[in-house]
Amino acid sequence: MTDLSAFIAGLPKAELHVHHVGSALPRIVAELATRHEGRTRVPADPDALAGYFEFRDFAHFVEIYLSVVDLIRDPEDVRLLTFEVARELARQQVRYAEVTVTPYSHVHRGIPAPAFCEAIEDARIAAEAELGVVLRWCFDIPGEAGLPAAEETLRIALDERPDGLISFGLGGPEIGVPRPQFKPYFDQARAAGLRSVPHAGETTGPETIWDALRELGAERIGHGISAARDPQLLRHLAERQIPVEVCPTSNVRTRAVAAIEEHPLPRLVEAGLLVTVNSDDPPMFGTTLNDEYAVAARLLHLDPAGLAGLARNAVTASFLPNPEKAKLTAEIDAYLASA
């Protein structure tokens, strides 16, 4: 019998929903907190971060998340964070990752947009050469900062247009942040060739997902778990094979789902959706992408073939060019055959 943990550890993967700052490992957060000691409430002790990353609800998570964003003070911090994110992805056999980056949060705190983009690009190029992991960027609007953030995010995306940039997103809280107001910005981003990947249906109902589809032209849905409550929406997503980026542990840690046993992942799969499993803000939620595959295996009763199918879903749902999709899919198939 195949050891599922060992199988997952070696399985080639794509990661489609992982946040840049939210991927900062405890040792990196602690290093940055030490650099800026006296100017932050983030603990400089890696062991103390587990307690710091206990979230009462989604609003508290956003508050803590922004305190970590505040640790990123200069391009050197950005470059360090980005390369270490890539190193951790490579350690988990991630071959390709679409990383959600929020440039507004850093530019608003004083890092010039060109310097920010140069830092992430420098780390991206080095990571591909040294670690073998391919990174691409989704520039996302922090919804809590409103339309000024949307305007600035779009400006940075279109003016700087780093080589790794492929998509445009919308993150942050959903409650009190209606999706339709962002339509003009998504229209312009899409007209410029960027793909639409907003968060929707994480902490609100199916109507937010409908808004993301109808108003923002969403090609994938970040989270999308409340689709399970709407049979018509499930049919729509299944018929069109619009992928959902599911992050099970994240949903429990932010209290969007009461317990992992109650997660709607099985209902989404049963309805025929193109489901991908992702890690979101892994160190903050005490997880990894490998852990999320193990959670999915448990919830969906997957064997190695089923886990390989989940990995293939992420490749299918990615924005990789078709030849690269075929290459990564073949690698997954060969790994399964050798297991």
Active centre residues (catalytic): 202
Q: Cα separation of 11 and 312, whole Å?
A: 11
SS3 245: strand
Contacts of 268 (CB under 8 A, 6+ apart): 224, 225, 227, 228, 234, 244, 246, 275
Q: Cα separation of 242 and 250, whole Å?
A: 21
SS3 95: strand
Burial class (CB within 10 angstroms; exposed 0-12, middle 13-18, buried 19+) of 267: middle
Q: What does the block give as tokens for 35? A: 């650099």
Q: Identify the residue whose tokens are 């840049």.
A: 20
Q: Which of 264, 313, 241 is nearest to 15 (CA)?
A: 313
Q: Which of 146, 137, 191 is nearest to 166 (CA)?
A: 137
Q: Which of 291, 274, 225 is nearest to 254 (CA)?
A: 225
Q: Which of 125, 118, 38, 135 is nearest to 78 (CA)?
A: 118
